[in-house]
Amino acid sequence: MENKTLLTETELFVRSIMNGDSSGHDWWHIHRVRTLAMVIARTEGADLFLVELAALLHDIDDWKLNGNKDERNKVSDWLTKCGAGQQLTGKICGIIDGVSFKGAGVDTSTSDLECKVLQDADRLDAMGAIGIARTFAYGGSRGRGIYDPAIQPVMHTDFENYKKSTAPTINHFYEKLLLLKDQMQTKTGSAYASQRHEFMLLYLDRFYAEWNGLYS
């Protein structure tokens, strides 16, 4: 299959799997991550085909969407079915494997440029106005409350405990979203992240002010 056809077929495949999700991991998340990843890839000189293909497939095996099971078969099954060959399949699976955030104290830095680009794009979509919308959507899908002043944020140092967390959604800002700015892997990603980070800080200020009865 030619690269262009593989991308088109993969987009259709991913849309069919992710349509209708309401946890913030729907098709439009993939669409935004692909757009951001392509912008970063062009500036950073990464391989555009690898970045686009990995961006399209990056969440279909995600633990958040598979009932916390770490499944890694849908990506390789799909690429094998398309006749992508072992080398390309291995490369894409490797990129995707390095993308996911696994807890505040878990090191997920990488030396692979395509992985750096995709990791930054995926994390940027967890920041700013979109990130705020997604994090509350995800919290709601998991039955989490919005905020409880009595429950303090936890800096998870292992992936298992991070996955099991049932804390209110506001805690997620401190356990993940506000940490992302300093974990960007590319210069382009860092520049985008600073602005999105500032917006989240503004949002939290306003949230606590309203919580305490201000801005009535």
Using CB under 5 A, list all residues that contact Ni ion.
59, 122
Least Cβ distance, residue 59 to Ni ion (angstroms): 4
One-character DSSP codes across the chain? --HHHHHHHHHHHHHHHHTT--SS-SHHHHHHHHHHHHHHHHHHT--HHHHHHHHHHTTTT-GGGTTT-----HHHHHHHHTT--HHHHHHHHHHHHTTS---TT-----S-HHHHHHHHHHHHTTSHHHHHHHHHHHHHHTT--S--TTS------SHHHHHH----HHHHHHHTGGGGGGG--SHHHHHHHHHHHHHHHHHHHHHHHHHTT---
CB closer to Ni ion out of 86 and 109: 109
Least Cβ distance, residue 5 to Ni ion (angstroms): 24
CB closer to Ni ion out of 59 and 175: 59
Least Cβ distance, residue 206 to Ni ion (angstroms): 27
Least Cβ distance, residue 153 to Ni ion (angstroms): 22
CB closer to Ni ion out of 1 and 38: 38
CB closer to Ni ion out of 18 and 46: 18
